[in-house]
Structure 1
Amino acid sequence: MIFTRAGVMRGVGRSVPLLLGIAPFGLVVGVISLGKGLSLAETILMSGLVFAGASQLLALELWSDPPDILAVAIAAFVVNIRLVPLGAALSFWLDHLRGWRLWGSLFFAVDHSFALSVAAHRGGERDAGFLFGLGLLSWVGWAAATAAGHLLGAAVALPPTHPLFFAATATFVAILVALWRGPRQDVPPWLAAAGTAVAAQALRLPAPVPLLAGAFAGAALATLTEGRRARARADREDRA
């Protein structure tokens, strides 16, 4: 395992296509932040420090005047709990990093960089700088997109049904492509996650409970399935 400038640049280059998905999502957050009364500087600061689209959207939905900071912070924390298992899944690189390389990689790690990092590692990438580079350009693009959305919202009033507001959902669906390994490995946990989230939504459970319930259901089934396969491989090797 290494961490080089070349790896960082490969990550930066690989993240360029992600900007096409990040930009509309960031525009939406910028437009909503304007509607909630945040200034341009506050919007950029929020995007730079939080750097998590789902939690920012939820925080803005809960935003009031004056804002209930504790409620907003708890909601953002709950949504971002999903990053804990993501970080654990990136242990093949993170376990070997120290100092700014570790904390910088953790700070910049989001759903998109996680998905592409896992796919790259499966493909033979061994440079942990790849993860850092992925997140770095995504962070810059995210802050720029939310700023642009804030400026756009001040100039043009977009209706709630505008296609731009579907960008967030489309982006998260698109990153599944990089993680696809085949129907046997991925379809059961993905269906479990989707079914649990839809059921929780149908029960009118408050946000972000459906999101978290789906994530943990899918992760639990995937862990159980992978554990059984690992034990089966071990048994076959012992018999051999």
Structure 2
Amino acid sequence: MSSSNSQALSERSFSEEVWRGMLATLPILIGILPFGLLLGAQAQQQGFSLFNLTLMTGLNFAGGSEFAAVALWASPPPLLTIVLVTLLVNSRHLLMGAALAPSLAHLPPRKALFALFLMCDESWAMSITDVARRRAAGLYPSFNTGFYAGVAGSLWFTWIFATGLGVIVGPVLGDITRWGFDMAFPAVFLVLLKGMWKGFRSGLPWLVSLICAGATYHYFPGAAYVPVGAASGIIAILLLNRKVS
């Protein structure tokens, strides 16, 4: 990166960086709006109130586990199963947080923990990319709190708004999957995958996990596809990276 570009990056104020993060997130926000509407509509059909769902989405802030929890909801709800599936689906955040943590070392613990609380797949991917770009430009700290605040804050507020709106308009729209809204999550996922793509070998565990989870979902009832998909992906990573004796 040229010295003029590096100087421009270093001279931006916090508010300018927040605005930059918000603008960078706009394409993803458009994608997660229908995704949130779908979750809200499904939750309303399961008996969730507006308050209950916005509380869950605001505190948990992980769409995959929230879809799993809503799908498993019953009367009475199988709480232990829901908790275990949520922990399993969200376990990827342990690896994501570990990858981001070195870049947060300069922050006070309370700010670092708050940043990790707002971390989701999209904000993690965008912040990791921005960290790499700032490191290449020789800027320190590589983690830009303003940019991250703009990205993560926009995603968090939009997600809560979209899911809450889904609860309200769900009864009016009926089965919104007929509008194709259920394709929003795969579309956003594919965009993130493209941004992190480093070749077929690095993407092979994703493919193995997808095939195993899809086959399990097709042939076995319940949420068994979640642990099967996670375990098969981890096994694929271990096999691909094992040392040859």
What is the TM-score normalised by the length of structure 1?
Answer: 0.81
Partner of 2:230: 212
CA distance in 2, matches of 1:80, 1:213: 13
Structure 2 CA distance for partners of 1:178 and 1:9, relative to 1, 3 Å: same
CA distance in 2, matches of 1:93, 1:68: 39
1:166 equivalent among 168, 183, 186:
183
Identity of aligned residues (%): 29
Q: 2:124 matched to 1:114?
A: yes
Partner of 1:177: 194
CA distance in 1, matches of 2:143, 2:206: 31
Paired amino acid for 1:189: S
Q: 2:164 matched to 1:147?
A: yes
Structure 2 CA distance for partners of 1:207 and 1:94, relative to 1, 3 Å: farther
Partner of 1:48: 58
CA distance in 1, matches of 2:71, 2:58: 19
Q: Residue 134 of structure 2 aligns to a residue in which SS?
A: coil
Q: Within 5 Å, give how 1:1-240 maps onto structure 2.
A: 4-124=14-134, 126-129=142-145, 130-158=147-175, 160-180=177-197, 185-203=198-216, 204=219, 206-217=224-235, 219-220=237-238, 224=241
Partner of 2:5: none
Structure 2 CA distance for partners of 1:112 and 1:159, relative to 1, 3 Å: closer
Structure 2 CA distance for partners of 1:113 and 1:221, relative to 1, 3 Å: farther
CA distance in 2, matches of 1:50, 1:199: 26
What is the TM-score normalised by the length of structure 2?
Answer: 0.80
Runs of 4+ deviating beyond 6 Å = none
Q: Give 1:160 deviation, angstroms.
A: 4.3
Unaligned runs of 5+ in 2: 1-9, 136-141
Q: Give 1:4 deviation, angstroms.
A: 4.6
Paired amino acid for 2:234: F
CA distance in 1, matches of 2:102, 2:205: 26
Paired amino acid for 1:190: G
Unaligned runs of 5+ in 1: 229-240
Aligned partners of 1:30 and 1:43 also within 8 Å: yes
Aligned partners of 2:208 and 2:236 also within 8 Å: no
Aligned partners of 2:38 and 2:176 also within 8 Å: no
Paired amino acid for 1:71: T
1:41-93 alpha-carbon deviations (Å, 9 max, x no partner): 11111111111100000000110112222221111111000111111111342
Aligned partners of 1:196 and 1:217 also within 8 Å: no
Aligned partners of 1:29 and 1:57 also within 8 Å: yes
Aligned length, in residue pairs:
221
Paired amino acid for 1:66: P
CA distance in 1, matches of 2:23, 2:151: 8
1:12-45 alpha-carbon deviations (Å, 9 max, x no partner): 3322222111111111110110010001111111
